[in-house]
Amino acid sequence: MDSLGAIAKPYARAAFAHARDNGGVAEWSAALATLADAAGTEAMRAALESPEWAAQALAVLCEVMEGSAGAQRQSVQNLLGVMRENRRLGALGELARQFEALRREDARRVEAVMVAAAPVDKAQQEEVVRALKVRLGREVDLRVEVDERLLGGARIQVGDQVLDGSARAGLQGLSAALARPAIRRNDKRITG
């Protein structure tokens, strides 16, 4: 079976191109986020995958996203129809995620996730955003999560790149260095 990412990719690209060409990126984004939330429940996923319930589930999804799609409602419904015909509605969540990634890429923005051992105040967040902006050459949307299992510091993930400044990573590096065999040196004194 295909991965959801591979399934969603062509739909996300086509939806984004259509939305951008028709000036409806924000409406598409809102509609897809609404659809992904609604389709993300276990009951709705089961209904969407069921040949006998898929039509009714799709009708419910269309009603749910009605207000968020605005002028793009018919285009979004057309996409849902194509996905239903191809039995791909299970990829709605991934499609919404990929659409947002394309939107950020188009706007030269990137999402960064910072996982810290303790809450991070606004000033520190702004400093991280500035540093990442310089390093990446893009605008940065920072999301901060707290993981108390970290001993200290933080780990930042931007796409598939990870910047690990956590105390745990530092200790693991130290542990690895201590596990390496020692290098023996001549104990000759140099006198001048």
pLDDT tens digit string along 61-74? 888 887 787 888 89
> What's the pTM value of the predicted model, to 2 decimals?
0.62
At 12 the pLDDT is 95
Alpha helices in 40-182 (DSSP H): 42-49, 54-69, 73-85, 92-106, 122-136, 167-179
CATH number listed for the domain at residues 108-179: 3.40.30
Segments making up each domain of the chain, as ranges: 4-105, 108-179
At 186 the pLDDT is 57
Q: What percent of the chain has pLDDT over 90?
A: 30
Q: Given the structure tokens 């400044």, which residue do they identify?
A: 165
Confidence check: pLDDT of 191 > 60: no
At 16 the pLDDT is 95
Contacts of 101 (CB under 8 A, 6+ apart): 12, 111
Provide the mean pLDDT of the chain: 83
Confidence check: pLDDT of 149 > 90: no
CATH number listed for the domain at residues 4-105: 1.10.520.20
